[in-house]
C-alpha cells in the first residue's frame, strides 16, 4: 500500500476553526479543508486547488507552514489505508463564507467551530487536542501516527 499525501489547512477566524463535513458510505465526519496531492502538483498548489473546490476560497489566501504533520495508518483487519497529513494554516479575516459552495460531491457542508466544540465531533484525523492548543506562529509539530476507527 502506497501512502497517500493529503494537504489541509487550519483556517481560523478568532477562536473558531473552519471544518468541512464529508459523507462517505453512510458515515459523516469532519475534516480540515484540503485533499489529495496530484502527481506533479506542489503541496501549496494542491492546497489552493482544494480550498477553491471545497469552500470557494480564492488562491490569494495567505498560508503558513506546514504547521503539523501526521499519518493515519489503518489498523490490522481494516481496509488498507495510509494517509500522510501535511497541515498548513491561514487566517480567514473578514472573508465571507456565505456564498461558498463546494464542487466536491463528498463535501456536504462547512462550518466554523469554536475550539471548545471540537471534542464532541468525529474529526479525521483526530487532532482536536492539537487544534485547541495550537497558535499561529507555533513551530511545525509531528503528531505521530493517528487513527480513529
Local confidence band at 38 (pLDDT 50, 70, 90 cut-offs): very high
Between the CA of residue 134 and those of 12, 87, 106, 118, what are the distances in Å? 11, 12, 28, 13
| Rounded Cα–Cα distance for residues 111 and 139 (Å) | 26
Instruction: Specify the 3-state DSSP secondary structure of 128.
Output: helix
- Cα angle: 64, vertex 67, 68; to 5 degrees: 150
Q: Taking the CA atoms of 111, 116, 43 and 138 in sequence, report the sign of the dihedral they define.
A: positive
Local confidence band at 112 (pLDDT 50, 70, 90 cut-offs): confident
CATH 3.90.79.10 given to domain 4-146: yes
Between the CA of residue 92 and those of 35, 121, 140, what are the distances in Å? 19, 22, 20
| Rounded Cα–Cα distance for residues 112 and 30 (Å) | 11
| Rounded Cα–Cα distance for residues 145 and 65 (Å) | 20
Local confidence band at 108 (pLDDT 50, 70, 90 cut-offs): low
Q: Identify which has the larger pLDDT, 23 or 114.
A: 114
pLDDT value of position 23: 79
pLDDT value of position 85: 93
35 membership: H or E segment, kind and range: strand 34-36
Amino acid at each position: 500500500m502506497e501512502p497517500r499525501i493529503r494537504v489541509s489547512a487550519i483556517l481560523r477566524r478568532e477562536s473558531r476553526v473552519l471544518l468541512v463535513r464529508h459523507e462517505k458510505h453512510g458515515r459523516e465526519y469532519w475534516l480540515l479543508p484540503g485533499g489529495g496531492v496530484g502527481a506533479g502538483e506542489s503541496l501549496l498548489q494542491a492546497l489552493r486547488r482544494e480550498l477553491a473546490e471545497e469552500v470557494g476560497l480564492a488562491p490569494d489566501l495567505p498560508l503558513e507552514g506546514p504547521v503539523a504533520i501526521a499519518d493515519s495508518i489503518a489498523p490490522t483487519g481494516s481496509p488498507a489505508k495510509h494517509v500522510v497529513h501535511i497541515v498548513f494554516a491561514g487566517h480567514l479575516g473578514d472573508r465571507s463564507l456565505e456564498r461558498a459552495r463546494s464542487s466536491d460531491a463528498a463535501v456536504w457542508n462547512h462550518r466554523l467551530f469554536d475550539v471548545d466544540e471540537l471534542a464532541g465531533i468525529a474529526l479525521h484525523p483526530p487532532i482536536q487536542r492539537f487544534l485547541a492548543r495550537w497558535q499561529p506562529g507555533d513551530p511545525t509539530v509531528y503528531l505521530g501516527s493517528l487513527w480513529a476507527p
